[in-house]
Each structure stands twice: as C-alpha cells, then as structure tokens.
Amino acid sequence: MKTYFRLLSFAKPIEKFAIPYILATILTVIFSTLNLALLAPLLKALFFQSKAPVPKPASWTHVIDLLNYYAHQATIDYGPLGALKFVCVIIVISVLLSNVFRYISQRVMENLRIHTLLNLRKSVFDNVMDLHLGYFSNERKGDIISKVASDVQVVQYSVTGTLQVIFKEPLTMIAYLVTLFALSVKLTLFSLLIIPVAGLIISRIVKRLKSQAQASHETYGTMISYLDEALSGMKIIKAFNATNYIKDRFHDQNKMYSKIIRSMAKRQQSASPVSEFLGVLMVAGIVLYGGSLVINHQSTLTAENFIAYIAIFSQVMRPAKAISDSFSNIHSGIAAGERVLELIDTKPLIKDALGAKPITDFKEGIQFKDVTFAYDEKVVLSHINFTVPKGKTVALVGPSGGGKSTMMDLIPRFIEPQQGEILIDGHHLNSLTINSVRSLMGVVNQESILFNDTIYNNIAFAKPEATPEQVEAAARIANAHSFIEHTEQGYQTNIGDRGTKLSGGQRQRICIARAVLANPPIMLLDEATSALDTESEKLVQDALNNLMKNRTSLIIAHRLSTIQSADIIIVLEAGRIAEQGTHTELIAANGLYRKLIDMQTFNA
C-alpha cells in the first residue's frame, strides 16, 4: 500500500478529476441498472396485459413494482400499443443518459491518466538528469529507458484504474444486487452462495501475474540495452565479425521475454472464457431454482419480474470480472511502480546546498585541498593538493587509471569528493549554485558528444539565443567554418545520430565551436585530440589553441607533445600527484614524466 499511495500522489490534484468522475459514474450506474429493470414493464406491456387495477407502491424504493405500476396504468389509459410506446421511449432516454454519463466518466478518467503520466515521467526524467555521472557507469541504459518509457506507462493505468476498482465496479455490483433483492430476497440469497466460488477460481488464475510482470519488465530492460549497444557499436560489431553473437544474444533475451508475455497472456485471456462459462453456469442454476419457485408458486415473483431478474443477474459477473482484472493490472502496475520509484529515489543526487549562491565572475583560480575520491571502496584520488591559477594552462598527465578524468569531473561537480575541498576564487564548490559554476566552464571531451540535429543547433546548444553571426564566428575560431560551408545545406545540415555524417575531426571541431560560443573563462579539455589522425589533430589542436587564448585551461593529454608549453604539468600516478612543474623542470627531474616522454618518443 505504501508503494500505491506514493504512486497515487502523482495524480494530484486528484479531486479535480475524482469528483466529476464519481458524479458521472453514479449517474451511469443508475441509468444502466434502470435499463435492465425496464425489461419487466416492457414484458408486462407486451405479454401480460390486464385491466385489473394494480395498487401503487407505497415507497419509491420498490423500483420494479413502481415501473410495473406505471406500465399498467399506461396500458389502461392508452391501450397496449400506447403502453409499449411509452416504455420504449423511457428505455431509449435511459440508455441515452447512461451512455452520455459513461462517456463523461471515461473522458475524465483518460485526462487523469494523462495527467498522472505527465507528472510521473517528468519526475523520473528530472531525477535521472540530476544523478551524478558515476550512476550511469553501473547501470544499463536500456533499464533506464524501460523504466522511463514502459514502466511509467503501466503505472498510469494501474493507478487510475484504482478508481474503477474501488468505486465504479463495486457500485455497479451493489446497484445490481439491490435490484435483485428488490425482485426476490430468497432467490438472491441463493445466488450469493454461488458468486464467491467463481471469484475464487478467477483469483487463482491471476495470482502469479505480479511476479511474471516483474520478470517481463526486467527482461524487456535487458533487451532494450542489447538493442542500444548493438546500434551504438555497429562498426565494431561488424569489424570483429560479431554479428551472429550479437544476434544470438538479443534473440535469446527476446525469446525469454516472449515466453513470459505468452504465459501472462494465457492467464489473462483464460480469465475471460472461464468467467463467462462460470457466469452461464450460475445463470443456469438460478433459472433452474428460480423457475421451480415460479412454476410451483413458492414465490411472489411474477413471470415478467423473473425474466428481468435473470437479465440483471447475468450482468453481475461483468463488474466482478472487471474488479478481478483491475486487481491483476494493479499488481503489474505496483511492480512497475516499485522500479520507477527506485529510480526516483536513487541517491546520491547532486543538488544545490541550502543557501548556495551564484558565482558571476572568475577572478583568482581553482584550488584542490586534500581531495580524496573513491568509487565504492576503490580509492581513485588520494589527498590531492594543487592550484590552477587564473589565466594559466595546467596539464594532467600520467598512466591510464591514474585519476585524471576523475579529477576533472570534480570541478563542474559531475561527482563529489568524499574528503577535502575544491575552491573557486576561495569559495567552496558546495556553497555555489551548480548552474553558475558550470556556466563558467566549457568542456571538450575525447568523445564528441553531438545530437541528431543541424550543425547550427549543435553549435548553439549551450546558447540558443545566439545569432547566426555569433555561431559562424565561433565556427571560424574552431577551424570548422570551411568544411561546414561545403556540406549539403551548410549550417542547416543534419549531422545524423551522434554526428555520424561527419568525420572524427569535424565532430571535434563542432564541439570546440560549441565551447567557443559559450565563451567560458575556464576550459576543461579531456584528451580532445587523442582519437584523431595527424591531419585532423593539427586542425583541432590549432582550434584548441585559439580556444585557450586568454582563458584558464585544464588539459588531460594523451600525446605529451601537445602540452609541453603548459604553464604547469601535474603527473598523476595511482591517484596521487607524483610530480609537478614545467616541461623543462620535469625533464630535468628525470622522474615519471621523463619516462613517459621517452616511451612516446621511442614508440614514435
């Protein structure tokens, strides 16, 4: 129930939808029940015509007797045909009203579903975007996509469907039972002995649906992950002749998912014919027992009222089945909801601290004071102390796994240290708003992160209000304008998924142009040229040199020849600073840096 009420909170303000839904549903149930109850006076007008006076019921609660009374009076006043016309008009009006109110209730319910889906998906996506980068290293992308897309869809139907479970269908059953008791108490008590047996059989059919729903969504998430990996790594898959392996891996998961769905469908679909058969079985039992009472004159039930009774009783199983189906859907929805809420509740979130203030200018520099960072229990950085002065270029070098990228990710607060302080202009990062800190920084990574959009929109990504002249100026600084002009539609050319229509060097220069347009005082460059060929590297390096002019820059370099002019070079090894200084000083020190230089020179 705790999970259910958490999910229901996303339907707020629920009274906006619940009140009109309840009113419309009450009227729907009243007129729907009246439609069936009108069978008795219709049959009386057709087959049981009599001129003998009939006493008027003393109370409106005797609905069937009241309807029979007015039908009989119509027969006396207007004749049999007139009475038939009168009853038919009443039936048409009743059916019209019941359908109008049912339509209104369905529209309100649909609006509630959409409203719930909107709020729930927004909360899930917002929370995903707030998670730190380390979370995504441990999670399958397909699982996240499944939760945001598929699970949320399941939840919205289960949550909103509860209104039907707790209100509409029980109310319909109560209305039918009240009418049945009004027709015959004895016969209705007999029928109530049969209904629980049918309910027990149907409940056993749907018992395992919750666990199967859980398994189906987990399998679906894995399958989507395989699909995403296959599409993202298509070139590598084909290069290593791994197509069959990838196909088999996806197909195995697809078969498993299909098997679970087939089993769920078998249970869900068996509920309908089973309940229909049980319904017919119960009606046959009622006809046999009730018919014997009428034939043997052991009941006050008239022939026309008995036929109406059978018609109403045949409908009792419909809301009972709907309640059963709704509970199975709720089980599936709560299982999906638990996964969605798990994503919403995932910690740690990196948010602004209470009282955090924006930083509007960068004047002094960035300082690491005794910083330690670990993923779970694995220490990546240990007691790091160094300063990046304003206007200087600081390069981070060292063997792979030394903690260079982790150190850079700490500055824009993609991740947070377990110990120590990171200061900007003497202000602790946690005392500053995240957006204002990141607005001071431009980031260019080894992997060119581009979007399936035009070149123009990719450059203007961080500054949508930029003018075409500003976008072109940024592209010129990044050495990108020339090749952009030669594309099919210039700046309006779509670059495809992740920029696949461009070469590696072109993609990187688009990323640099994006950083130039943002015009940040601090640049973070993470091996921005390591994946490029020699010609592209030169163009990109020239663009980076243009980008770093008059800026504070922190560079991670794979090729050490590109950072020899850096003001400070910091050598990291196993999460610690092994040495630091200028290129000349480090060469003279004959330490790790010198070894790395010699290795690259030898390999060249």
Number of structural domains, the chain?
1
Asked whether residue 582 is assigned to any structural domain, the reply reads no
Count the alpha carbons within 13 Å of 88 in the hemisphere toward its beta carbon.
7
Instruction: State the DSSP H helix or E strand holding residue 89, giving kind and residue range, or none if neither.
Output: helix 63-130
Residue 331, pLDDT score: 65
The number of beta carbons lying within 10 Å of the beta carbon of residue 366 is 23
* Cα–Cα dist 302/292, whole Å: 12
What is the C-alpha to C-alpha distance for residues 210 and 21, in angstroms, rounded to an integer?
28
Q: How many CB atoms lie within 10 A of CB 409?
A: 19
pLDDT of residue 604: 47
Q: Shortest CA distance to 571 belongs to which of 379, 365, 386, 369?
A: 386
Residue 384 lies in a domain: no
- Residues facing residue 547 across a β-bridge: none
In a domain, 420, yes or no: no
What is the DSSP pairing of strand 576-581 with strand 552-556? unpaired
Whether residue 124 contacts residue 147, with contact meaning beta carbons closer than 8 Å, is answered with yes
Task: Give the global pTM.
Answer: 0.66
Residue 415 lies in a domain: no
Query: Is 399 among the domain residues?
Result: no
Q: What is the pLDDT of residue 228?
A: 75
* DSSP 3-state of 235: helix
Distances in Å between the Cα of 576 and the Cα atoms of 58, 128, 165, 551 are: 95, 32, 61, 26
Cis peptide before 13 (omega within 30 of 0): yes
* Residues in contact with 339: Cβ distance below 8 Å, sequence separation at least 6, in sequence order: 147, 151, 217
Give the whole-angstrom CA distance, residue 194 versus residue 282. Answer: 7
* DSSP-assigned letters across all residues of 507-576: HHHHHHHHHHHH--SEEEEESTTTTS-HHHHHHHHHHHHHHHTTSEEEEE-SSGGGGTT-SEEEEEETTE
Position 7 in a domain: no
Question: Is 537 domain-assigned?
Answer: no
What residues contact 259, with CB distance under 8 A and at least 6 apart? none
Q: What is the pLDDT of residue 302?
A: 72
For residue 347, what is the DSSP state? S
| Residue 324 structural domain | 12-344
Residues of the chain with pLDDT under 70: 1, 39-70, 72, 159-164, 194-214, 217, 232, 235-236, 239-240, 264, 267-272, 274-276, 279, 298-300, 317, 320-332, 348, 528-537, 601-604
Residue 293 belongs to some domain of the structure: yes
Q: CA-to-CA distance for 428 and 414, rounded, in angstroms? A: 15
pLDDT of residue 450: 84
Residue-level pLDDT at 424: 94
Which CATH number is 161's domain given?
1.20.1560.10
C-alpha 121: how far from its chain's center? 4
**20 token code pair:** 């009109």
> Taking Cα atoms as reference points, which of 527, 535, 477, 481 lies closest to residue 505?
535
Please give the pLDDT value at position 507. Answer: 87
Alpha carbon of residue 436 to chain centroid: 29
